[in-house]
Each structure stands twice: as structure tokens, then as C-alpha cells.
């Protein structure tokens, strides 16, 4: 079945840019009706949606993060990526990628990757 | 920005029925369907309920969801020890060009 796997540095310095990639296997990132999203969870806290992208490149971002976030897609590699700029300690979290079922009035995330912990520290 | 409000905790003994509430607004739950996610300790969240009351394949039928107005509810009947987890509601919000919002989360403890 469809699987997603996050990859990228586990440690990022303050003010730098966090970069993660999600590799999709056993399925095509170019499937219609599906976006591909990023969600994060600070240690001991709740879930926060970051943004989602369609294979055509159309994106949606969470308003509080929009100025710092870029989500991109590489259909030839079946991957999508996250860049979060000017990070601070508050961006320390487990970052998940997930398939986003998107339609008017009807949205959910399934399945999810296992998640990767990114720590922001000097 | 909108928030979906859940009680921090809920508990029950094995076999009991437990309910978790989720309160939103007209721009999210009032306009869009609600989903529920289960997060077992140390694992990634898993979709439990989608489109208010639909269970993905493999989810036991003791889990059920409902929605009324700007609120939603998750019920676990016949509570089992393996149901001890964090539960999050979520929905799309139509304000600010649209965004996905999660609930504050509820820790369900099996006594």
C-alpha cells in the first residue's frame, strides 16, 4: 500500500532554513484528487498543519506560517519537499508528511509518514 | 485563526463507552466535514474517522463519529486497553483563503 517517508537533517541552526523531503512509494504523486501535505507536532503538544501541494504545483499554506513556508513537488522523483525559513526554537517538532484527500468541504490526511524530529539549536 | 476545542482528557474502564467532543465554528465544522485521528504513544497519527462518520478499512466499528451544527463527537464503545491514545478532531476552515485546522487533542485513558 501507499507509503510516505520523510528525510532531512535532524538539527538546524536558528535563523537558517529547515529542509525536508517526503518520498512516496507504491503510488503516484500525480494522482488526481490528492494533495500532499506537511504537518508538525512540537514535543508534547498538538498537531499543526503546515501546507499542502497538488502535483501541478498548486499550494495551500497555514496563514501563520505562510511567509516562511515553501512546499514544492518533484513528480519525476515522486517526492515533495518542505522549506521553512528563519527557524527558531519554536519550530522544533516532529514533522510528518501525509497524503491529503482534498475536495470542497471534504478533507483528510491518510496515510501518514512515520515522522522525523527536527531540532532547532545552535 | 480558528481553533477546534476538545477536552484535555477523558477516561473509562474496559467495556465502557467514552465520548470526546469537538467544538468549532461556522467557518470550519459548520461548513465542512470532520475527521478524527488516533495517535498511539510514540507513533504517527492515524485516520480514524473521515467525512463525519465514515470509518476507513480496518478501523473497528466500536469507533463512531457524529456532527451537529458547529460541534462534533467521537464515541468509543466497548473501550479496550489498546484504545488508550490521543485523539484529534480536524476540519477544513474556509476563512483566510482556506486552511486545515486540528483540534487541541484529548488524551483517552483506560482505567
Task: Give the three cell numbers for residue A7.
Answer: 528525510
- Scan for cell 516562511, then name that residue: A68
- The alpha-carbon gap from B75 to the nearest alpha carbon of chain A, in Å, equals 19
CB pair distance less than 8 Å for B33 and A49:
no
pLDDT of A103 > 90? The answer is no
pLDDT band at A32 (very low <50, low <70, confident <90, very high): confident
CB pair distance less than 8 Å for A107 and B44:
no
Contacts A2 to B, Cβ<8 Å:
none
How high is the pLDDT of residue A75?
95
pLDDT band at B1 (very low <50, low <70, confident <90, very high): confident
CB pair distance less than 8 Å for B102 and A114:
no
- Which residue among A61, A108, A115 places its CB closest to the CB of B35? A108
> pLDDT for A38-90, tens place per residue?
999 999 999 999 999 999 999 999 999 999 999 999 999 999 999 999 999 99
Distance CA B84, CA B15 (A): 13
- The alpha-carbon gap from B55 to the nearest alpha carbon of chain A, in Å, equals 12
Gap between the terminal Cα atoms of chain A: 39
pLDDT band at B10 (very low <50, low <70, confident <90, very high): very high
Contacts B59 to A, Cβ<8 Å:
none
| Closest alpha carbon within chain A to B30 | A105
- Give the dihedral sign, CA A28/A34/A37/A41: negative
pLDDT band at A96 (very low <50, low <70, confident <90, very high): very high
% pLDDT > 70, chain B = 100
Contacts B37 to A, Cβ<8 Å:
47, 109
CB pair distance less than 8 Å for A106 and B51:
yes
> pLDDT for B27-79, tens place per residue?
999 999 999 999 999 999 999 999 999 999 999 999 999 999 999 999 999 99
Residues with Cβ within 8 Å of residue A28, at least 6 apart in sequence: A78
DSSP per-residue string spanning A21-87: EEEEESS-TT-TTEEEEEEEE-TTS--EEEEEE-TTS-EEE-GGGTTTEEEEEETTTTEEEEEE-S-
User: Which residue out of A35, A45, A47, A111 would a mutagenesis test of the B interface target, given it has the greatest number of B Cβ atoms within 10 Å?
Assistant: A47
Q: Which of A111, A109, A40, A67 is nearest to B92 (CA)?
A: A109
Amino acid at each position: 500500500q501507499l507509503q510516505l517517508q520523510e528525510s532531512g537533517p535532524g538539527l538546524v541552526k536558528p535563523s537558517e532554513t529547515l529542509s525536508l523531503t517526503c518520498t512516496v512509494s507504491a503510488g503516484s504523486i500525480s494522482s488526481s484528487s490528492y494533495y500532499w501535505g506537511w504537518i508538525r507536532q512540537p514535543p508534547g503538544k498538538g498537531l499543526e498543519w503546515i501546507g499542502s501541494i497538488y502535483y501541478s504545483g498548486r499550494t495551500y499554506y497555514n496563514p501563520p506560517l505562510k511567509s516562511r513556508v515553501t512546499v514544492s513537488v518533484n513528480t519525476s522523483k515522486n517526492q515533495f519537499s518542505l522549506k521553512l525559513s528563519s527557524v527558531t526554537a519554536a519550530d522544533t517538532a516532529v514533522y510528518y508528511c501525509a497524503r491529503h484527500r482534498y475536495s470542497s468541504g471534504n478533507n483528510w490526511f491518510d496515510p501518514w509518514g512515520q515522522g522525523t524530529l527536527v531540532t532547532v539549536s545552535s | 485563526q480558528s481553533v477546534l476545542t476538545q477536552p484535555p482528557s477523558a477516561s473509562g474502564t474496559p467495556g465502557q463507552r467514552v465520548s470526546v467532543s469537538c467544538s468549532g465554528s461556522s467557518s470550519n465544522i459548520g461548513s465542512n466535514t470532520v475527521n478524527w485521528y488516533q495517535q498511539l504513544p510514540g507513533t504517527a497519527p492515524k485516520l480514524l474517522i473521515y467525512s463525519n462518520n465514515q470509518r476507513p478499512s480496518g478501523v473497528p466499528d466500536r469507533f463512531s463519529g457524529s456532527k451537529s451544527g458547529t460541534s462534533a463527537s467521537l464515541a468509543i464503545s466497548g473501550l479496550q486497553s489498546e484504545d488508550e491514545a490521543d485523539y484529534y478532531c480536524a476540519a477544513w476552515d474556509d476563512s483566510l483563503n482556506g486552511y486545515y485546522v486540528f483540534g487541541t487533542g484529548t488524551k483517552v485513558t483506560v482505567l
